[in-house]
Amino acid sequence: MTQIIDQVRHVCTLGGLQSVLAIERAIPVLHAGPGCGQKLWGAIGLQNGGQGSGYAGGHTVPCTNATERDVVFGATDKLEEVIENTFKVIDADFFAVLTGCTSDIVGDDVGDVVRRFQKQGKPIVWAETGGFKGSNFIGHELVLAAIFGQYLQPAAGKIPGLVNIWAVVPFQDPFWTGVYADLAELLRAVGLTPNVIFGPGGGVTALDRVPAAQFNLLISPWVGLKGVQQLEERFGTPFLHYPVLPIGPTETGKFLRAVAEYADLDRNRVEEFIKEREDHYYHFIERAAEVLLETRFLPRHFTTITDSTYGLALAKFLVSDLGLIPDRLYVVDGIPDHLQEEVGEYFKDLGEGIGAEVLFTPDGGAVQKELRATKFRSRPLILGSAWERTLAKELNGFALSVSMPVSDRLVFDRSYVGYTGGLRLVEDIYSAIMSDFQ
Amino acid sequence: MAIIDIKRNEVPIRENRLGAVTGYVGTIGDLHERATNCGVGNRERCFTQASACSSGCCQNQLGSISDALVVNHAPVGCAADSVAGNVNFKSGARLRGLDYTNVQIISTNLEERDTVFGATDKLRDTILQAYERYKPKAIFVTASCVSGIIGEDIQSVLNELKEELDIPLVPAFCEGFKTKVWASGFDAAFHAVLHGIVAPPRSDVKSNKVNFVNFRGSARKEIINTFSKLGVEPVFLLQHSTVEEIRRISEARATVSICGTLGSYLGNGLEQHYGVPYVNTEQPHGISGYKNWLRSLGTLLEAEDAVEAHIAAEEARIAPELEEIRARLKGKTAVIGMGPSFGHNYTRVLRELGVEVLWAATWHFDQNYDHGEVPESTKRLAEADESLQVSVGDQQNYEIVNLLGKLKPDIYVTRHGGSSVWATKMGIASYMITDEYAAFGFNGILNFGNVIIDKLTNRSLARKLAERIKLPYSDWWIAQDSFSLLNAEGF
């Protein structure tokens, strides 16, 4: 049966354009149809935590705006002209030419065009990201592969303690800015020097430092694995693949100890930090115990309709630290078939000897249909997207939008990562419950 | 004038049908004169920024029909705009006090192998799954760049399925690469409606309905009230209308539209095929536009007296407040950046408020509408001030930013997301019209005037943001003529 997609929860490969924009003063140049940019940033940007055009996104992104003539005769000349004028008109430090379906089907030799600019020493790369190649999770990987392969140069030497952080896909995760900043904060606290490529303050300087890192840290069940493998191959940088985005005390402690073990850090310093932050966390949890236990209509069970990263991270926290029970969990990131089994394994141990069954499907409509047919014994807590607002009402449940599209929330620099992030999540979930009947 | 052909399953794009252009700079007098006589030649650009495509306009119009469903025959990214479409749809539901539901726009999820082997089976299967899931009253299939390039025979799939599914199955051709005018997607949607949904009028039905082509319909209550004085009832199209309501729009006594760009195709199509007259005046924004529009409708309905009574009472009612607003806006300047219908209509409205419009940029320009005439709003504007400077560009922000830097207006008034922010980043007050009824008639002009006053009264956000941010353009570009990357006609 055809894998249809009803209620999009990710976009296509070309959505990787937002990963370029996540690097400060970097700009994508699209060789694509006129509407691709608008549709994609509309979905994973503006309608996802209110992430607007920023420095040079949105309608500022240069694009060849493919026409019928381009599709018939090819349009490499036009692309060359637009790139040339991009250098004149736009003030940016780094450029990535990304193709859409039109160019990839017609077979424009984009590499040939871009190589001419690379030979002139321009900081520019290209990637074939025609939307039919898959999701923007794949698009993000293609963009990284292009940058790693075509732009980065070997470093003079490794800098001890320098760690590149690779985690959630920028923009697709509306909390990405906070996620990277909070992960960096955790690493700094235990004595490492984080190198954050995405978000404010990174830019080309951070990008240029990538090959000098002591190791790459990948925090994701599957997205980005190819990237750190490529960096190991090209620059000999080892990597730590840690599948769980740490939320709350249990997972954050495990994460920090794993990093400490891998990087051979000062254990006392790590344990002191964990103790101090756990005290802070439990100060508030103790204070909120009445809310967590005595509020009317409390949910006992939860489900998630998110990407793999958040499905795993949210479930681990809610099971390990908040005493909730997972129902069937839904992973909607269009994860490639061959990775499903391995990622599904991660969900078998969420803490307390509790695991969850996972259904992988990009079809949100099918998920909602299944939930409509599910019998709930208490009001269900649904951590999904804005698509679930209507469903939660029908099911008399509680909804919190945490996964694209988060069109009902404005998100700046907060995240659910770490100790503070765990508190933020408890605040958000229980605020949704408390405000529901008031 | 080309007659609209509703038997074909596809409508020609605006460049071919309406002489639409996306590159022009000059005066409204020149634009009007050339559109009326020899025609305006389009000017291409040697640098372009991402604009928008027809598929967004098309599938969000069709997807907003309450009980219809859209199957998008495309890779998943082409359905990305269903997210914004859903937000829009829900805001419309809120305005009307309806229950929230999600839009039903389903992607066939075309993948690499489909571009090689074709995917008509996938389309067929998607339609069947979609029908099973939601039991819609009609299914529209929107095309995409991929389905267009690989030559998918959408119509044949629909023909085959007609045996199985007893609902209208209608294609809508809106491949993004086919047109630079995203509004061509409105035509694709309305063509699908005319071609596949609208039934010929029943001879025994005498309707008192007037079709009102609009977006979300915020002024619904006011319109129902005003129309009741003329003895008619509005049917708001297409958002939140039903397939059955749309089937019957051929029986209406007239069609009107809040936007000339939006309404031209459906209005003229209904007039040409079913004799439902379409009001072709300028749109009902501000006072003179509203009066001409309502008088024209009144004449069609033979309700002239009711119209005149309404106008006289309303004009007298708002006169004192309007004078106050005009006094406060005296000497203020504005630049406009909108679609062509809104742009030329709102230029007139700002002038009615006493604001000097320094420049009117529109995202495209139709040299004629489907009744074969230059848009009335353009004509009136040219008559009022032929020297008004205008330009046409498919929302090329680099031109707009450059222009705003040179003209330094008090306010930039815009429609279509992602433009107003640039004025704000330059310290210029801005107002994006998100509500199509922002300056509707007598109440609208007062509201609109007050909004402009508010925007000019406290500019702190714009001023402080502008002090702290850097624009993404080079000094070289900012020093150039705003339209220096616009090629000569024919190149």
Q: Does residue B32 lie within any of the structural domains?
A: no
- Chain B touched by A107 (CB under 8 Å): no
* Contact across the interface for B83 and A42, Cβ inside 8 Å: yes
Q: Would you say A76 and A31 are in contact if contact means Cβ atoms under 8 Å apart?
A: no
Mean pLDDT for A128-133 is 97
Q: Pick the last residue of a domain from A95, A125, A151.
A: A151
Q: Would you say B222 and B294 are in contact if contact means Cβ atoms under 8 Å apart?
A: no
Largest CA distance in chain A: 69
Reported as a single tens digit per residue, the pLDDT across A201-235 is 999 999 999 999 999 999 999 999 999 999 999 99
Nearest Cα neighbor of B263 from B250, B247, B280, B241 is: B280
| DSSP states along A40-96 | HHIIIIITTTS---TTT-GGGSBB----HHHHHH--HHHHHHHHHHHHHHB--SEEE
State the smallest CA–CA distance between residue A68 and chain B in angstroms: 5
- Are A299 and A269 found together in one domain? no
- Are A196 and A245 found together in one domain? yes
- Are B236 and B163 found together in one domain? no
* Contact across the interface for A10 and B76, Cβ inside 8 Å: yes
For B394, nearest residue in chain A (alpha carbons): A34
* Residue span of the structural domain in which A431 resides: 282-436
B386: its two tokens:
């032929």
Q: Would you say A19 and A50 are in contact if contact means Cβ atoms under 8 Å apart?
A: no
Give the model's pLDDT for residue A236: 97
Query: For B83, which of A15, A43, A86 is closest by C-beta distance?
Result: A43
Q: Does residue B323 lie within any of the structural domains?
A: yes
> Which CATH number covers residue A317?
3.40.50.1980
- Are B386 and B452 found together in one domain? yes
Q: Would you say B411 and B431 are in contact if contact means Cβ atoms under 8 Å apart?
A: yes
- Are A169 and A140 found together in one domain? no
Sole residue written with tokens 């019928």:
A68
**For testing contact with chain A, the best of B102, B123, B133, B480 (most A CBs within 10 A):** B102
CA angle A26, A27, A32 (to 5 degrees): 155
Query: For B108, which of A4, A42, A85 is closest by C-beta distance?
Result: A4
Residue A1 pLDDT greater than 90, yes or no: no
Mean pLDDT of chain B: 97
* Contact across the interface for B51 and A38, Cβ inside 8 Å: yes
- Chain A touched by B2 (CB under 8 Å): no
Distance in angstroms (rounded) separating the CA atoms of residues B238 and B217: 10
Cis preceding linkage at B238, omega within 30: yes
Distance in angstroms (rounded) separating the CA atoms of residues B23 and B293: 30
Confidence label for B270 from pLDDT (cuts 50, 70 and 90): very high
Query: For A4, which of B107, B145, B418 is closest by C-beta distance?
Result: B107
- Are B325 and B443 found together in one domain? yes
- Are A186 and A233 found together in one domain? yes
- Are A40 and A87 found together in one domain? yes
Fill in the DSSP letter of residue B136. -
- Are A117 and A69 found together in one domain? yes
Q: Is A164 helix (H, G, I), strand (E, B) or coil?
A: strand
- Are B389 and B352 found together in one domain? yes
* Contact across the interface for B56 and A36, Cβ inside 8 Å: no
Residue B431 pLDDT greater than 70, yes or no: yes
- Are B156 and B93 found together in one domain? yes
- Are A292 and A326 found together in one domain? yes
Q: Does residue B182 lie within any of the structural domains?
A: yes
Distance in angstroms (rounded) separating the CA atoms of residues B315 and B294: 13
Residue A14 pLDDT greater than 80, yes or no: yes
Find how far residue B484's CA is from the centre of its chain. 28
Distance in angstroms (rounded) separating the CA atoms of residues B170 and B172: 7
- Chain B touched by A337 (CB under 8 Å): no
* Residue span of the structural domain in which B267 resides: 209-305
Q: Does residue B38 lie within any of the structural domains?
A: no
Give the model's pLDDT for residue B3: 86
- Are B241 and B128 found together in one domain? no
Residue A377 pLDDT greater than 90, yes or no: no
- Which residues in chain A are closer than 8 Å to B86, comparing Cβ atoms? 386-387, 405, 407
Q: Does residue B490 lie within any of the structural domains?
A: no
Helix (H) or strand (E) holding B259: none
Sole residue written with tokens 């949890």:
A285
The structural domain count of chain B equals 3
Mean pLDDT for B80-102 is 94
Whole-number percent of chain A with pLDDT over 90: 97
Reported as a single tens digit per residue, the pLDDT across B207-231 is 999 999 999 999 999 999 999 999 9
Q: Would you say A403 and A310 are in contact if contact means Cβ atoms under 8 Å apart?
A: yes
- Are B138 and B63 found together in one domain? yes
- Which residues in chain A are closer than 8 Å to B106, comparing Cβ atoms? 4-6, 365
Reported as a single tens digit per residue, the pLDDT across B105-131 is 999 999 999 999 999 999 999 999 999
Q: Does residue A80 lie within any of the structural domains?
A: yes
Q: Would you say A18 and A48 are in contact if contact means Cβ atoms under 8 Å apart?
A: no
- Start-to-end C-alpha separation, chain B: 27
Query: For B177, which of A48, A71, A88 is closest by C-beta distance?
Result: A71
Query: For A2, which of B115, B129, B394 is closest by C-beta distance?
Result: B129
- Are A348 and A423 found together in one domain? yes
More confident residue, A64 or B97: A64
For B146, nearest residue in chain A (alpha carbons): A101
Q: Does residue A60 lie within any of the structural domains?
A: yes
- Which residues in chain A are closer than 8 Å to B130, comparing Cβ atoms? 4, 6
State the smallest CA–CA distance between residue A176 and chain B in angstroms: 19
- Are A228 and A371 found together in one domain? no
Q: Pick the last residue of a domain from B305, B332, B348.
A: B305
- Are A116 and A142 found together in one domain? yes
Nearest Cα neighbor of B449 from B256, B262, B320, B259 is: B320
- Are B300 and B188 found together in one domain? no
Residue B2 pLDDT greater than 80, yes or no: no
- Which residues in chain A are closer than 8 Å to B177, comparing Cβ atoms? 33-34, 66-68, 70-71, 102
Residue B312 pLDDT greater than 70, yes or no: yes
- Are B424 and B355 found together in one domain? yes
Distance in angstroms (rounded) separating the CA atoms of residues B261 and B268: 12
Q: Would you say B295 and B34 are in contact if contact means Cβ atoms under 8 Å apart?
A: no
> Which CATH number covers residue B185?
3.40.50.1980
Q: Pick the last residue of a domain from A151, A180, A208.
A: A151
Confidence label for B202 from pLDDT (cuts 50, 70 and 90): very high
- Are A432 and A296 found together in one domain? yes
Which residues between 390 and 429 in chain A have a beta carbon less than 8 angstroms from any beta carbon of chain B? 390, 393, 405, 407
Contacts of B140 (CB under 8 A, 6+ apart): B59, B62, B68, B69, B70, B71, B170, B171, B172, B189, B192, B196
- Are A306 and A426 found together in one domain? yes
**For testing contact with chain B, the best of A68, A85, A89 (most B CBs within 10 A):** A89
- Which residues in chain B are closer than 8 Å to A133, comparing Cβ atoms? 111-112
Q: Does residue A4 lie within any of the structural domains?
A: no
| DSSP states along A275-338 | HHHHHHHHHHHHHTHHHHHHSTT---EEEEEE-HHHHHHHHHHHHHTT--EE--EEE-S---HH
* Contact across the interface for B49 and A60, Cβ inside 8 Å: yes
Q: Does residue A1 lie within any of the structural domains?
A: no
- Chain B touched by A289 (CB under 8 Å): no
More confident residue, A296 or A238: A238
Cis preceding linkage at A405, omega within 30: yes
Q: Pick the last residue of a domain from A231, A257, A275.
A: A275
Give the model's pLDDT for residue B1: 65
Q: Does residue A141 lie within any of the structural domains?
A: yes
The structural domain count of chain A equals 3
For B111, nearest residue in chain A (alpha carbons): A132
- Are B162 and B276 found together in one domain? no
Reported as a single tens digit per residue, the pLDDT across B93-110 is 999 899 889 999 999 999
Give the model's pLDDT for residue A153: 97
- Chain B touched by A10 (CB under 8 Å): yes
**For testing contact with chain B, the best of A7, A24, A93 (most B CBs within 10 A):** A7
Distance in angstroms (rounded) separating the CA atoms of residues B147 and B172: 12
Whole-number percent of chain B with pLDDT over 70: 100
Q: Pick the last residue of a domain from B283, B305, B327.
A: B305
Confidence label for B491 from pLDDT (cuts 50, 70 and 90): low
- Which residues in chain B are closer than 8 Å to A134, comparing Cβ atoms? 111
Q: What are phi and psi of B63, to 5 degrees?
A: -70, -15
**For testing contact with chain A, the best of B66, B71, B86, B145 (most A CBs within 10 A):** B145
Instruction: Kindly tell me the sign of the dihedral angle through the C-alpha atoms of B206, B209, B210, B213.
Output: negative
Q: Is B258 helix (H, G, I), strand (E, B) or coil?
A: coil
- Are B463 and B342 found together in one domain? yes
In this structure, are strands B138-142 and B68-72 parallel, antiparallel, or unpaired? parallel
Q: Does residue B3 lie within any of the structural domains?
A: no
Q: Does residue B324 lie within any of the structural domains?
A: yes
Reported as a single tens digit per residue, the pLDDT across B145-172 is 999 999 999 999 999 999 999 999 999 9
Q: Pick the last residue of a domain from B249, B275, B305.
A: B305
B172 bridge partner residues = B142
Q: Does residue B262 lie within any of the structural domains?
A: yes
